[in-house]
Amino acid sequence: MNFDKRYLIHGFLPAFSSACCFAVMATCIKLASSDLPAPQLVFLRSVVGLIIILPIVLPRGINFIKTPVLPTHMLRGLISLCAMTCFFYAIGNVGLSESTLLNATSPLFIGLLAMPILKEKTNLHSAIALITGFIGVALILKPGTSLFTFAALIGLCSGFFIACAKILVRYMATTEPVMRTVFYFSVFSTLYSGLIMIWLWQTPTFLDLSFMIMAGIFATCGQTLLTYSFTHNEAVTVAPFTYVTVVVATLIGWLGWNELPDIGSSIGAILIIGACLSLSLQGKLPNPWKLKNPA
């Protein structure tokens, strides 16, 4: 099997499919967000994902579930819970295009985190990319103007948490198979969000529940495909597919809700995507061998 075919099967197809799954998930979240709070959306998405993954993992036995990095899985679950809550809140209060784009700013934060975590020095090219990317973020957030919204800032926080989660996933890829990583993600995100439901639970309508079941299915498929892609490929070859989600979500937002970003946000989107791709192509994404064991 030649390299191109291997990359097509183990890189391009799962990464592209993952991006499309996440766009459909975001659409389902937006449809349900008018009735349910973001933490409950996270809980329902997590429960559905856990129900899907249990029949796949449990037959493999206790030895498959055993992990040497359980605390890292727990931390990843908490960080992912924060990321999903921020993202789902933004989806319900900001357009699909802008919320997914802010969620996709993780390479910018990874570039920043690489300095204190990986002890990497930032070269001029990387510094310019980071500055350009955050200028793009400012054009979308529009701080100091009447167009600035708290929801958009929360959406940006999801990008930061995603960056932290990606570092942990890439680290765990050295010892953890894909399904085990997805399993513990589903377990801990369900447990953490379930605790919050003691105070925030609302009985969903049948329609909202249907949307969340679909969201959980597509999110689990997307998460599995993305984890598979990161496990079998260098991060630099996978990261650019994140922006397929932005493109698909923008198209859905336009067709479904007549949402179109303004000129400032459009310019910001171009700057962010360009900067993130530049950082990715420079390899400014975490190398798991350089990370100390966070467990």
- Residue 85: partners with Cβ closer than 8 Å, 6 or more residues away: 38, 39, 42, 193
Nearest alpha-carbon partner for 286 in 161, 166, 175: 166
| Rounded Cα distance, 40 and 190, in Å | 10
- Output phi, psi for 203, to 5 deg: -70, 115
pTM for this entry: 0.81
Residue given tokens 């054009």 in the structure block: 139
| Rounded Cα distance, 101 and 247, in Å | 9
**Per residue of the chain (295 residues), what is the pLDDT tens digit?**
344 566 556 567 788 888 889 899 999 999 998 888 889 999 998 888 888 888 888 888 888 888 888 888 899 989 989 999 999 999 888 888 888 888 888 878 887 776 666 555 667 777 888 888 888 888 888 876 666 788 889 999 999 998 888 778 777 777 777 788 888 888 999 999 999 888 888 888 899 999 989 988 898 788 778 777 766 666 566 666 777 888 888 888 888 888 877 888 888 888 888 887 777 666 544 443 333 333 3
| Rounded Cα distance, 232 and 222, in Å | 15
Nearest alpha-carbon partner for 85 in 49, 53, 45, 112: 45
**Helices 70-93 and 178-200 sit at what angle, rounded to 10 degrees?**
60
